[in-house]
Amino acid sequence: MLYVFHGTDVGQAGVKARALVDSLRAKKPDAAFVKIEADSWNSSVIEGHLGGQGLFSNKYIVFLSRVTESTEAKEEILKFIPAMQESTNIFIVFEGKLNAELKKAFEKSAEKIVECEKKDTAKSFANSGSNIFALGDAVSRGERFKAWTLYRQAVENGAEPEAILGMLFWKAKTIGSKELARELVTLYHDGHRGLVDLELATERLVLKCTGK
Is the CATH number of domain 2-115 3.40.50.2000? no
- CA-nearest of 146, 127, 126 to 136 is 146
**pTM more than 0.75:** no
Grouping H, G, I as helix, E, B as strand and the rest as coil, residue 40 is: helix
Residues of the chain with CATH 3.40.50.300: 2-115
* Each residue's pLDDT tens digit, 14-67: 888 988 999 999 888 888 899 999 888 988 888 888 875 545 456 889 999 999
| Model confidence pLDDT, tens digit, residues 130-156 | 677 888 888 888 888 888 888 888 887
At a CB cut-off of 8 Å and minimum separation 6, what does 151 contact? 135, 164, 202, 203, 206
Report whether 111 contacts 23 (CB < 8 A). Answer: no
pLDDT of residue 3 exceeding 90: yes
Rg from Cα positions in the chain: 20
